[in-house]
Structure 1
Amino acid sequence: MFRLLTSCWSRLKTTQETRRSVTIIIIGLDNSGKTVLLEVFQRLLPSRMGHCLKSELTTLLLDEYEVSIYDLNGDKKGREIWPNYYAQAHGLVFVLDSSDLERMQEVKIILTRLLSDKRVAGKPILLMANKQDKKDALLPCDIVKYLLLERLVNENKSLCRVEPCSAINNLQRRNHQSIIEGLRWLLAAIGDKYEELCTRQQPLTSSLPTSKSTRGSGARWSSDSFTTRMGTSKAKRQHLGPCSMEARPLKPILHVNGSLNVIAPRTNP
């Protein structure tokens, strides 16, 4: 019995010692469902009680990773401090309200600025297309197309996955499986270039960096024109047939579960 207990303790200790430490930030506009999404993570995954007193920090365990998650405010004032965390993060989770067509232009401008920041470029990003339970929620292919994600991830060499989800507190566990699978994808993408991302890590900054101007054509669309283009119901958009992904050289892959990977091309060394 003693030998068995010793063996179990040794295995547990080895697992803890070999677990990779990863830092990610959860960002997105206010009312996109970020906090509820984090609560789903906390409910479904084991957590490590903290040695850190920061209220915005949560540490969870998934597979071989110990994941420190910063949940950052999405209002205008809160967005001013996002850049403080960019260099600390191995990867990012961006949450958007798929049913809020009026703010999709705002999301587009923010994502363009975010991905073009040198502290973010090249890092994997998981885009959680939340509130898919809403009648007018955009499909993943709509989101890729109208946020110009293909162009953005190509320019900045960032792997991106669009994961449709509905982060609802009282939803059954099996209906939240896509949320965990999305996080697994992000951790796997981080793991593939873990050493490189670790070398880019820097401590949290104490002062706000100078904001950068938005690149590209993000400011050309108004929310009204976007809403008009998209129509008013998912059923009508589905009636138009499958979404076309003509842009090159990126090749988004639509999976059976509805998630969408937008893959940046490899560059020659």
Structure 2
Amino acid sequence: MVLLRHISIALTAAVAALGSALFIALNYFYRRRVWSPETDYCMIKEEEEGRSERQVLVLGLDGSGKSSVLQGLSGARPKQHRPTRGFNFISLDTPACQLHFLEIGGGEDLRVYWAQYLQRTHVLVYVVDSSDRRRLPLAKAELHRLLCTHGQLPVVVLGNKQDKPDAASVRELHQALSLGALGPERRLHLLAAQLGSDGQAPDGQAPPCSLQAFQEILLQLV
């Protein structure tokens, strides 16, 4: 059983590493592929203008709602997600730059590899299940472990599932995650979110951040 567990962890890590390489390769491929004369002209014009690209890393414990973030940004219809066992990615075209979102699964066997993906990241989006109070200490520990050696990396913490019963408020999340300990020099945003719900905030809590507002904050940070 121990041998099988080690084999499973090794295979999962290999899938994540392969996913990162595939993510980079696909970005290169789609930038260079000729779709039509009009598209080719737009690509050349963008390159002449020095249009930049930025990578956004989306992390969080399994079940926090990371895939819903990508789904919402892509404009896809809400659907149920199984925990991500490898990676997901989308590219979002904005007037300012092209944002590449890379999500890495949040299972225990994948979290040990998270830090490897921070080197080329411009913004970290950390998704937290506000209704899972039992695992808030673990979410805090993983976040601080990531950021202890990356003092300048901007962070957006999404307190997701605000519509769930007994969800922690933004103020409670700020305290539970010890965000104040990250220091005043850190560019940090803590946002209420309930991705996939009707957008109505429970009584006494801050209204959820819209995906458009979330995107605008990301553009400010990159």
Same fold by TM (over 0.5)?
Answer: yes
| Whole-Å separation in 1 of the counterparts to 2:114 and 2:60 | 10
Report what 2:193 is aligned to. Answer: 165
Identical pairs, percent: 26
Matched residue pairs, number? Answer: 168
Q: Is the 8 A contact 2:70 2:89 kept in 1?
A: no
Rg larger for: 1
Let me know the Cα RMSD of the aligned residues: 2.9
| Whole-Å separation in 1 of the counterparts to 2:198 and 2:49 | 35
- Describe the SS at the equivalent of 2:121: coil
Q: Does residue 185 of structure 1 match 2:217?
A: yes
Choose between structure 1 and 2 for higher RCO, CA contacts under 8 A separated by at least 6 residues: 1
| Whole-Å separation in 1 of the counterparts to 2:46 and 2:122 | 23
Q: 1:74 aligns with which of 85, 89, 106?
A: 106
> Once the 2 structures are TM-superposed, how far is the Cα of residue 186 of structure 1 from its aligned partner?
2.3
Q: Is the 8 A contact 1:90 1:123 kept in 2?
A: yes
Q: Does residue 36 of structure 1 match 2:64?
A: no
From the superposition, tell whether residues 184 and 32 of structure 1 become closer, same or farther in structure 2 (CA, over 3 Å). Answer: same
Map 1:1-269 onto structure 2 (within 5 A): 13-14=45-46, 17-43=49-75, 56-117=88-149, 120-154=150-184, 157-168=185-196, 178-190=210-222
| Whole-Å separation in 2 of the counterparts to 1:26 and 1:85 | 10
Task: Kindly provide the CA deviation profile for residues 94-137 of structure 1, in whole angstroms up to 9, marking residues without a partner as x.
Answer: 000001100011011112111112xx321110001100111211
User: What amino acid is the match of 1:32?
Assistant: S
Show structure 1 runs of 5+ residues with no match. 1-5, 45-53, 191-269
Report what 1:225 is aligned to. Answer: none
User: What amino acid is the match of 1:145?
Assistant: Q
Show structure 2 runs of 5+ residues with no match. 1-37, 77-85, 201-206
User: What amino acid is the match of 2:119?
Assistant: A
> Once the 2 structures are TM-superposed, how far is the Cα of residue 16 of structure 1 from its aligned partner?
8.2
User: What amino acid is the match of 2:196?
Assistant: I
- Describe the SS at the equivalent of 1:56: strand
> Once the 2 structures are TM-superposed, how far is the Cα of residue 139 of structure 1 from its aligned partner?
1.1
From the superposition, tell whether residues 15 and 141 of structure 1 become closer, same or farther in structure 2 (CA, over 3 Å). Answer: farther
